[in-house]
Amino acid sequence: MPKVAETTRDNSGVLFVVETLEYLHRGGRIGGAQALFGTILNIKPVLEMRDGRIESVEKIRTKSKALDRMIELAGERIAGRKPVRLATVHANAESEALSLMEAARAQLNPIESYCCPLSPVVGNHAGPGTVALTYMAGIA
């Protein structure tokens, strides 16, 4: 792997929250009982891409708290490295993605930021209402 790709991989990440667990269940990412109880309890897991796999970071009771926690987690992972670049990505949840970006900008002070829709393939697996925060830090 080229050095620039390794550096980028090691200094970037993706955190996201889904609106419903139904699409993760349909895609075989979680079991039926997990989806049922998560839905009943209004659980909004904060998920992260790690080594090409989706991993659960935390289970939070409301989506607004989960979105706030994503910003905190990104700040922890950035750990003071500069410059910071951010993007919010969404599946039919543009207003939430824009609000997330506004809050993330205020806390993480990026030199660049973008908001864009998810690809249809990823959106199909995560479901409508999915919002992600991606970051890259320490790369000039």
What local confidence, expressed as pLDDT, does residue 28 receive?
A: 61
pLDDT tens digits, 46-66: 999 888 888 889 999 899 999
What local confidence, expressed as pLDDT, does residue 37 receive?
A: 52
The reported pTM is 0.89
Averaged pLDDT for residues 29-36: 55
Which among 126, 14, 10 has a CA at the least distance from the CA of 70? 14
Whether 16 and 129 have beta carbons less than 8 Å apart is answered as no
pLDDT above 60 (res 1) = yes
Question: When comparing pLDDT for 43 and 8, which is higher?
Answer: 8
What local confidence, expressed as pLDDT, does residue 50 receive?
A: 85
Q: How far apart are alpha carbons 26 and 122 in whole angstroms?
A: 13
